[in-house]
Amino acid sequence: MKLSTIVQELRLTPLVELHEQEVTDAYASDLLSDVVGHAHAGTLLITIQVHRNVVAVASLVGLSAVVIAQGRQPEEDVLAAARENQVNLLSAPSSAFTLAGRLYQLGLRAPGE
Amino acid sequence: MKSFTADVQLHSCLSPCGSLESSPGRIVQAARACGLDIIALTDHNTAANCPALATVVKRVGGLVAFYGVEVTTVEEIHVICLFGDVATAVSFGEFVRTYLPRLQNDPERFGDQPVVDAEEQIIYLDDAFLAGATSLSLDRVVGEAHARSGVVIASHIDRPINSLFSQLGVWPLGVQLDACDLSPRAKASAWRGQVPPGIPFIRSSDAHFLAEIGRQFTTLVLREPTFEEFCRALHGEDGRAVLCTEAAQPVAATM
């Protein structure tokens, strides 16, 4: 599924300029060690983790996008890192639970499911 | 230069899940009995039992104490913040506790949290939710501790919960941590590659019970056992050193 489709359907707010990506699956976690262990290239991550390592891990794993739930706002240095590393960073006022439910309705599944 | 045995992460009865027997007085007794030269009191998100520890250490002698707080950051990482004097640690602890969630401690689940004096008398029971996470970011905690001339050590970096790596996945670039602490089960060589060069490893007991004090330790090579010398050792200045063994070893075994 195209990232732009998801952005439209869920009315996500881009926090940086987006680069179109194919979203293969989705994962929800706030522990970045867990993300490294279970997500892979193409995974969309839903999280409330706004430490700048969310960008480092997204870049390392090759996540298609990171959606910050619950309206949390990352600091400017996190946004700068996302721009520099071309990481698609978005936000939504909804909870991680609701976002995951809506992505599931759109047909996305967790990695390996 | 001389070698000193140090255990710089100890919890008193004030910590949630800390043993009620762990008064500052009993901690000093236990630390001396197992041959430690330097200890630090680092209760969760408070330093309110540090004044009692300072009184006991001054009275008993034969031991040097540092004073600190084990802060839970908003990322739910545990970091040990250490200071050379009681007043700074206490005021840092008061700063930290204002960022705790507005919940009351549940003694049934986490135990009572007594603030005590040097005579083991309870001054009051702290009803703050010390087991909770503060809303302070890791960066903010490091900045605030450094502004008070303290040092910040990432606690038990090998553990699957509340550690720098469990929460952040990889080493966070740009964070000015002074050292990394390993839990007893960790081999130092397994973690060396995960941490930038120049950041020393330490071992501390993280004792929540008296019997755990000194179950592992760090050897500090210093001119004299002071906090200033400890800070210089963390940065490897002029022959001072922080020596962390490959595997855990109790301090009593070295006597």
- CATH code of the domain covering residue A53: 3.40.1390.20
Q: How far is CA A22 from the centre of its chain?
A: 13
pLDDT tens per residue, range B1-19:
999 999 999 999 999 989 9
Q: What integer is the mean pLDDT of B103-128?
A: 93
Helix/strand/coil for A66: strand
Rounded-to-integer distance, Cα B6 and Cα B87, Å: 21
Domain assignment of residue A68, yes or no: yes
Domain assignment of residue A111, yes or no: no
What is the count of structural domains for chain A?
1
Rounded-to-integer distance, Cα B47 and Cα A13, Å: 42
pLDDT tens per residue, range A86-101:
999 999 999 999 999 9
Q: What integer is the mean pLDDT of B73-101?
A: 97
pLDDT at residue A80 tops 90: yes
Question: Any idea where the domains of chain B sit in the sequence?
Answer: 2-254
The contacts of residue A1 (CB under 8 Å, 6+ apart) are A22, A23, A106, A107, A108
Of all helices (H) and strands (E), which one includes residue B134?
A: none
Q: Which of B75, B169, B174 lies at the smallest CB-CB distance from A35?
A: B169
Instruction: Determine, for residues A53 and B168 on separate chains, whether the beta-carbon distance falls below 8 Å.
Output: yes
| B39 close to B62: Cβ distance less than 8 angstroms | no
CATH entry 3.20.20.140 includes domain B2-254:
yes
Confidence band for B110, pLDDT divided at 50, 70 and 90: confident
Domain assignment of residue A112, yes or no: no
The contacts of residue B132 (CB under 8 Å, 6+ apart) are B45, B72, B100, B101, B103
Residues of B in contact with A31 (CB under 8 A): 166-167, 169
| B141 close to B71: Cβ distance less than 8 angstroms | yes
pLDDT at B253: 66
The residue type of A64 is S
pLDDT at B7: 98
Helix/strand/coil for B69: strand
Tell me how crowded residue A49 is: count the other CB atoms within 10 A of its CB. 24
Query: How far apart are the CA of B134 and the nearest CA of chain A, in angstroms?
Result: 14
The contacts of residue B75 (CB under 8 Å, 6+ apart) are A49, A51, B137, B138, B167, B168
Rounded-to-integer distance, Cα B190 and Cα A101, Å: 39
Q: Give the β-pairing of A13-14 and A89-91.
A: antiparallel
pLDDT at residue A67 tops 80: yes
Domain assignment of residue A72, yes or no: yes
pLDDT at residue A76 tops 60: yes
pLDDT tens per residue, range B154-191:
999 999 999 999 999 999 999 999 999 999 999 999 99
Residue carrying structure tokens 């001119």: B223
Query: How far apart are the CA of B157 and the nearest CA of chain A, in angstroms?
Result: 12
Domain with A33 in it = 3-105
Domain assignment of residue A90, yes or no: yes
Rounded-to-integer distance, Cα B170 and Cα B182, Å: 16
ipTM metric: 0.84
